[in-house]
């Protein structure tokens, strides 16, 4: 190779090495830059994105005054039409929303002051529309008007004096302290201008507003579209001068007729409002969705109608309570949280009722309602008690043919000669000193023993009774054997009651072990039917149980209750009206002995409307006197309970409130106006791409949106505080 070729090759090798070095340096620089960036940046949520939620239900006019029974509407209105105050699931308290609250005069005066700069959604720079005290006054004065078409809501503001203090301040003045009044101020507000000229009695008919609502919430109405699959309402973010700020640009609610249709559109959804469950109780959560299970302050109960004489017997109610297998009920409908009290803020673990059919039979034994076996047993026990005292000692059952004689002996110290036994004279017993003997015939007149029960009387010479004794006579060997078995069962029953702790299980006898057959009791067989209880005049214990046609779980529970109580000797006729109207008519008229239904305590957990005597239905001859706001479904009246409920409502002292709640719990426990069964649980599902969801302790389904400001779909990487690209060189030296 000549010198020229060698120099060319050397130059080529140098360039190659330089190229390789440059490539390595570049790759190392990229690696270090990425490492620096990863160590000195954080991911943060950013604004933007559209959240689409599917639900099953029906779209109705969106007017806050009339959405009590429609959870889908309530969801939308919680974002469009907030109230002066709102419930906070994290603290479980009422806090500020559109206004701040000041409570004074021992809970009698509630002063709210609107936050500055609030605007209604139809506000524009050219035509601003601020939220004013006049709007607030319009909302609550309208509710108080006698023509207002929602009397249930109206009850919350009866007797409340509402005054405008200035352009942003309203004062609510109560006659008596009411610690839960702030909850009433969470009602969504509407602008006065949207209802100008509308008669108060026709507010429900303002459909222009109902399907294009205007509010002052973080999201405003954009459009309402009916598609082939769903009704679709779109909300868009509305800039407000108050915190918190919301990130999601749009919220779209898609309302489907059923869950199957909803699932057909699942690829376009980010959330599912209420996830149903399969037959095994598992929530039907689609792939790539996460479920959040939660409870609301609700309970389902069996309410006893205490106006009905048949349920006045407290022992009967206790027996029904102890004989209700709640665990079996909740497992059948795939629920699991059993409750025993309507006071859901208290821990009831220390006095939880357990299913105890034996104790239930004991309560029934003390009631006015008896199984036929109990009636027979009671009579036998009375006979045993009468026979167990006094000088007469005779076999209580005898097998004697007609013409035979029953010889009875006794002591002359108890009955001297001259006394009579069933009218027959006593003779001195020649075979036993100091004793007498009498012969009772089985045929003839005076003193003869008839078939069946006979009362034998021992009378002294002066005609005064000394003793009496019951003897049952038969001439049939089979009947005598059955009577002997019956007598043995009576003895074992008495022994069980006297020595319950020491008697063996084999010899233990309770009323539940007995069966009445052809007028006598014997041990119950597994194949024996359960008879219906009767009272002293022979009426059968038959109760009517009313429940709602929806949800379908109520039918299952009602039918299970009928089976469980049948085993207690109680006949239950289940009534499930086909139409909502028929159901409501029976409910209002209290046409039931037992009512299966659920009640919601909402955010304040106030039990007053449901258990105070003022909530009883006043039944008259006119159906027009019936109140739809009569929430006391048991017709329960208790001076003690009324006083405690009033204290709980009025006091501002936490200790006094807790003491009153504990005492009220004991009062309800003793009175047994209802059997509390379970709290339903629900599930909300969201796609894994939605971040920041924390729902807390909800009081309503719509409360999941109280943390909507934390939800986000988009993210961005930013440098940590005090870090930027200029820190790269110093960072390199830290690696050396």
* 172 phi, psi to nearest 5 deg: -110, 120
**Contact at 8 Å (CB) between 166 and 113?**
no
CA quadruple 719, 722, 723, 727: dihedral, nearest 10? 170
For 638, list phi and psi in degrees, rounded to 5.
-150, 125
The structure tokens 């599902």 sit at: 685
Q: Which of 655, 679, 703 is the last residue of a domain?
A: 679
Out of 661, 679, 697, a domain closes at: 679
pLDDT of amino acid 145: 94
**Which 8-state DSSP code applies to residue 475?**
S
Distance, in Å, from the CA atom of 564 to the CA atom of 561, rounded to the nearest integer, reads 5
Q: Are residues 479 and 541 in the same domain?
A: no
pLDDT per residue over 669-724, tens digit each? 999 999 999 999 999 999 999 999 988 899 999 999 999 999 999 877 766 787 77
The CATH number that applies at residue 378 is 2.60.40.10
Query: Does residue 45 form part of some domain?
Result: no
* 340 shares its domain with 357: yes
138 pLDDT tier (thresholds 50, 70, 90): very high
Q: Is residue 703 part of a domain?
A: no
* 512 in any annotated domain: yes
CATH (domain of 618): 3.10.105.10
Whether residues 561 and 592 fall in one domain: yes
The answer to pTM > 0.85 is: no
Q: Assess whether 519 and 577 both reside in one domain.
A: no
CA distance 625 to 619: 7
Tokens of 355: 């299913």
Tens of pLDDT along 76-113? Answer: 999 999 999 999 998 889 999 999 999 999 889 999 99
Name the token pair of 428. 């001195």
| Domain presence at residue 722 | no
Same domain for 608 and 552: yes
Q: Is residue 173 part of a domain?
A: yes
Q: Where a domain ends, among 216, 244, 274?
A: 216
Q: State which residues form the domain around 467.
A: 372-523
pLDDT in tens, 220-260: 999 999 999 999 999 999 999 888 899 999 999 999 999 99
DSSP state string for 298-350? EEEEEEE-TTSGGG--HHHHHHHHHT--HHHHHHHTT--EE---S-TTS--GG
Q: Is the residue at 459 inside a domain? A: yes
DSSP 667-721: HHHHH--EEEEEE-EEEEEEETT-B-----S-SSGGGGGGGGGG-BSEEEEEEPT
Looking at the structure, do residues 581 and 629 belong to the same domain, yes or no?
Answer: yes
Mean pLDDT, residues 593-601:
95
Segment 290-319 mean pLDDT: 95
Query: Are 380 and 344 found together in one domain?
Result: no
Residue 443 lies in a domain: yes
CA 375 to chain centroid, in Å, comes to 37
Extract the tokens encoding 261: 């249709």
DSSP symbols for 6-61: HHHHHHHHHHHHHHHHHHHHHHHHHHHHHHHHHHSEEEEEES--EEEEEEES----
Question: CA-to-CA distance for 533 and 535, rounded, in angstroms?
Answer: 7
Residues 377 and 508 in one domain: yes
Whether 595 and 303 have beta carbons less than 8 Å apart is answered as yes
Q: Give the separation between CA 443 and CA 434, rounded to whole angstroms.
A: 29
Whether residue 539 is found in the same domain as residue 515: no
Domain shared by 365 and 387, yes or no: no
Q: Is residue 125 part of a domain?
A: yes
Separation CA 178–CA 106 (nearest Å)? 9
CA-CA distance, 336 to 679, in Å (whole number)? 8
Q: Which element (helix H / strand E) includes 435?
A: strand 435-441
Q: What is the C-alpha end-to-end distance of the chain, expressed in Å?
A: 46
CATH number of the domain at 142, please.
3.90.76.10
Under a CB-based contact definition with an 8 Å cutoff, are residues 586 and 575 in contact?
A: yes
- The mean pLDDT value for 584-598 works out to 96
Judgement on whether residues 113 and 204 belong to the same structural domain of the protein: yes
pLDDT tens, residue by residue, 139-190: 999 999 999 999 889 989 999 999 999 999 999 999 999 999 999 999 999 9
Provide CB contacts within 8 A for 118, sequence distance 6+: 98, 130, 131, 216, 240, 241, 242
Residues 439 and 550 in one domain: no
Count: domains in the chain:
3
Q: What pLDDT, in 10s, does the model give residues 475-506?
A: 999 999 999 999 999 999 999 888 877 777 77
């Amino acid at each position: 190779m000549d010198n020229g070729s060698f120099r060319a090759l050397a130059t080529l090798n140098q360039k190659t090495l330089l190229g390789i070095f440059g490539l390595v340096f570049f790759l190392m620089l990229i690696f270090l830059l990425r490492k620096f960036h990863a160590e000195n940046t954080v991911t943060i949520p950013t604004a933007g994105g559209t959240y689409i939620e599917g639900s099953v239900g029906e779209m109705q006019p969106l007017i806050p005054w009339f959405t009590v029974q429609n959870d889908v509407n309530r969801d939308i209105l919680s974002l469009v039409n907030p109230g002066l105050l709102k419930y906070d699931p994290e603290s479980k308290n009422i806090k500020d929303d559109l206004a701040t609250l000041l409570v004074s005069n021992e809970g009698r005066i509630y002063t709210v002051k609107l936050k500055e700069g609030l605007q209604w959604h139809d506000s524009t720079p050219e035509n601003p529309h601020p939220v004013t005290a006049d709007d607030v006054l319009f909302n609550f004065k309208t509710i108080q008007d006698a023509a207002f078409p929602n009397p249930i809501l109206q009850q919350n503001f009866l007797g409340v004096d509402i005054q405008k203090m200035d352009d942003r301040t309203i004062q609510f003045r109560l006659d008596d302290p009411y610690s839960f009044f702030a909850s009433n101020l969470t009602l969504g507000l509407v602008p006065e201008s949207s209802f100008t000229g509308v008669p108060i009695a026709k507010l429900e008919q303002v459909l222009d507003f109902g399907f294009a609502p205007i509010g002052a919430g973080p999201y405003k109405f954009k459009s309402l579209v009916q598609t082939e699959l769903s009704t679709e309402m779109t909300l868009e973010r509305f800039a407000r001068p108050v915190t918190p700020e919301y990130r999601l640009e749009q919220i779209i609610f898609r309302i489907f007729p059923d869950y199957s249709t909803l699932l057909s559109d699942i690829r376009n959804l980010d959330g599912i409002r209420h996830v149903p469950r399969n037959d095994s109780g598992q929530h039907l959560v689609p792939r790539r969705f996460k479920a959040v299970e939660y409870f609301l302050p609700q309970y389902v109960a069996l309410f006893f109608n205490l106006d009905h004489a048949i349920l006045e017997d407290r022992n009967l109610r206790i027996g029904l309570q102890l004989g209700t297998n709640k665990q079996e009920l909740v497992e059948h409908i795939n629920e699991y949280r059993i409750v025993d009290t309507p006071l859901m803020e208290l821990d009831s673990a220390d006095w939880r009722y357990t299913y105890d059919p034996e104790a239930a039979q004991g309560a029934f034994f003390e009631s006015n309602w008896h199984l036929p076996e109990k009636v027979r047993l009671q009579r036998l026990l009375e006979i045993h008690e009468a026979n167990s005292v006094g000088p007469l000692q005779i076999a209580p059952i005898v097998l004697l043919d007609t013409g035979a004689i029953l010889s009875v002996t006794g002591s002359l110290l108890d009955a001297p000669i001259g006394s009579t036994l069933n009218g027959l004279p006593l003779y001195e017993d020649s075979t036993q000193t100091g004793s007498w003997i009498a012969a009772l015939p089985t045929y003839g007149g005076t003193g003869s023993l008839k078939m069946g029960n006979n009362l034998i009387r021992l009378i002294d010479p002066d005609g005064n009774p000394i003793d009496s004794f019951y003897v049952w006579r038969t001439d049939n060997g089979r009947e005598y054997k059955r009577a002997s078995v019956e007598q043995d069962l009576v003895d074992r029953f008495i022994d069980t009651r006297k020595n319950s702790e020491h008697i063996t299980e084999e010899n233990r006898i309770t009323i539940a072990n007995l069966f009445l057959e052809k007028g006598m009791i014997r041990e119950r067989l597994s194949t024996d039917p359960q008879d219906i209880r009767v009272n002293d005049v022979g009426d059968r214990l038959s109760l009517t149980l009313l429940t709602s046609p929806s949800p379908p779980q109520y039918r299952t529970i009602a039918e299970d209750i009928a089976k469980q109580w049948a085993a207690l000797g109680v006949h239950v006729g289940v009534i499930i009206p086909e139409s909502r109207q028929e159901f409501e008519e029976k409910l209002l008229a209290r046409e039931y002995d037992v009512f299966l239904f659920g009640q919601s305590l909402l955010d304040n957990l106030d039990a007053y409307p449901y258990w105070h005597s003022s909530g009883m239905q006043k039944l008259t001859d006119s159906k027009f006197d019936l109140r739809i706001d009569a929430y006391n479904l048991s017709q329960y009246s208790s001076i003690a309970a009324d006083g405690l409920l009033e204290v709980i409502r009025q006091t501002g002292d936490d200790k006094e409130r807790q003491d009153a709640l504990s005492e009220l719990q004991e009062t309800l426990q003793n009175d047994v106006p209802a059997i509390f069964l379970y709290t339903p649980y629900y599930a909300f599902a969201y796609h894994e791409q939605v971040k920041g969801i924390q729902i807390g302790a909800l009081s309503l389904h719509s409360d999941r949106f109280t943390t909507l400001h934390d939800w986000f779909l988009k993210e961005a990487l930013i440098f940590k505080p005090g870090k930027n690209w200029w820190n790269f060189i110093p960072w390199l030296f830290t690696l050396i």
